[in-house]
Amino acid sequence: MEIVSQNRAFDGVQTVYRHPSNTCGCEMTFAVFMPPQSEDGPVPVLWYLSGLTCTHENAMVKGGFQEHAAREGLAIVFPDTSPRGDGVADDEAYDLGQGAGFYVNATRDPWRTHYRMYDYVTSELRSLVTENLQVNGAHGITGHSMGGHGALTIALRNAEMFESVSAFAPIANPTQSDWGRKQFSSYLGDDESAWSLHDSTILLEEHGWKGDILIDQGASDQFLELLRPEALAAAMAKRRQPGLVRMQKGYDHSYYFVNTFAGDHVEWHSQRLNGTRH
């Protein structure tokens, strides 16, 4: 891992790394905040997956997570949202191609060569982080929009890898939304049975989650029809899944919304990762 930048923040260290990725077949960049507690020993990890058009940098700069993570003693990992580079397939639309990996392993050309973000997050990057940084085995995952979709689906499919999961305005039912159907048909093909592995509403109905779930959704979000939070809430109620779906009055889809509730989510994960929940 090559260090791109490193800055002191809240007595911890915010670092951006670059590394060659065998999974994605290109160079990948990600960011990690290490809290001051990591100087004394390994700390738990919170993974934050970003949304459409984002890189590792958006949440790192705009999310306001570092102060809360420093207080709670959590490392935070900010992966990129897709493979990138001149040789990586792309599309003119903002919601397909680079910046829009949707956290799946593409099976169709021209995407399948590089677009393997599911394996990248769950295997390659996880190994890099756990083998090279002062982190322990307690991992939580969260994300915003497309990243909320990624956080929920990855956690629901890999319950043994994560102790906690939450999301900010997730794309909650992508098989029934234009934010999902378009990308899944491009990346995975027309067989909709393959899509269900990447739909948190379907996964929750079928498998549930071992703990509780926290979802924050802006009630004034301009993309509510695409996000379909009501589908996930209904699935939680039907399965009697412990958790909270909070509709936050007046909030939209922006990072102002994420920043406002970042502290709640970091504290929520900390209680489950550090064993301080009462």
Which residues are identified as catalytic?
145, 221, 253
Contact 202, 158 (CB under 8 A): no
CB within 8 Å of 160: residues ≥ 6 apart: none
Rounded CA separation 6/17 (Å): 9
Rounded CA separation 31/52 (Å): 17
Closest CA to 161 of 198, 199, 130, 197: 130
Task: Output the CA torsion sign for 185, 123, 18, 135.
Answer: positive
